[in-house]
Copies of this chain bind each other. A is one copy, B any other.
């Protein structure tokens, strides 16, 4: 076996149906998600062996969370449980110019209270071909940060490719550590950087702008600082409104700049987890294709996620390749 390992919090997402506000109904529906778990699910649907490492609550919520990952083929043998509750978030889905709203209840979650010593990283990383992490994890708590650093250190020693998605959220990072310092420390252990000018600015304390030139300059500067990083992948989004997006992917692979076509999603079904779909598409692409096709695959994976309900991309490799090949008309398949 040759698996991809992800590490991070599993979150329960609870939302009223359709575009209703919570106050308008007594009905809810739920999914399980969490940025790294989403990547694992998507990679599993694409045909890869995956294992997710996490801590869930020791109750029927945590049990259901594990079952959810198993349903989609993710190995859950390294998902531990504790007396703390599972992190969750509530979502009210907006439309057009009305924003969706998310409210979190994750601060004292089972994952934030993770005991770093609980994880046997040597065993988890046996037979591992890729490790993926995001900046959400070290933002949650000292314990989560420590556990991630342990994993990254060992993975790095084993020479496992490591993708870093250092998504910076200023509302997290409440436990005392400095975000920039921590993220630089962890990116130093990684080999693939998923992020654009915003993320680079956060790491390097620079002021690069959104445009391609700046993306290239920023990428070069990042690689200069962290030479272990070999490639930088970004995606750009043009939101006409909450229901109508255009997306495009770009990369600096150390020597050249690549960019995909723009894909237009005229009727967004679910916006959440599209970045995770991009990351999963990218990892799959880098494992199976060349850079150009990997970038296209990541972009197409991101695009199709907008049409899938829930947090995780459930598209198959065939569906995504189909988009790369230009089949965008969505004809019925019988």
A residues contacting B by CB (< 8 A) are 14, 18-31, 57, 59-61, 63-64, 67-68, 70-73, 85, 88, 90, 92, 94-105, 107-108, 169, 171, 239-244, 263, 265-269, 271-272, 303-304, 306-310, 314-315, 319, 322-323, 327-334
**Given A308-B98, A332-B100: A61 and B26 within 8 A (CB)?**
no
Alpha-carbon distance A20/B240, docked complex (angstroms): 24
CA separation between A30 and B100, bound complex, in Å?
20
- Can you list 25 residue pairs at the A/B interface with Cβ under 8 Å? A19-B309, A21-B308, A25-B27, A28-B28, A28-B29, A59-B103, A71-B71, A95-B269, A96-B265, A96-B269, A96-B328, A96-B330, A97-B263, A97-B304, A97-B328, A97-B329, A98-B304, A99-B319, A99-B331, A100-B330, A101-B332, A101-B333, A104-B334, A239-B330, A267-B267
Judging by beta carbons under 8 Å apart, are B85 and A105 in contact? yes
Contacts of A27 in B (CB 8 A): 25-29
Picked from B18, B169, B266, the residue with its CB within 8 Å of the CB of A240 is B266
Q: Is the CB of A60 within 8 A of B21?
A: yes
A265→B269 CA distance, assembly (Å):
16
Q: Which chain B residue shows the least CB distance to A268? A: B96
> In the bound complex, do residue A240 and residue B102 qualify as a contact, i.e. CB atoms below 8 Å apart?
no
Contact between A61 and B309, CB atoms less than 8 A apart: no
The residues of B that contact A20 with a CB separation of less than 8 Å are 309
Q: Are B334 and A57 in contact (CB under 8 A)?
A: no
A334 to B168: give the CA distance in the assembly, Å. 13
CB-based contact B14/A28 at 8 Å:
yes
Within 8 Å CB of A327, what residues of B?
Answer: 97
CB proximity of A308 to chain B, nearest CB, Å: 7
B333→A102 contact, CB < 8 A: yes
The answer to whether A107 touches B108 (Cβ under 8 A) is: yes
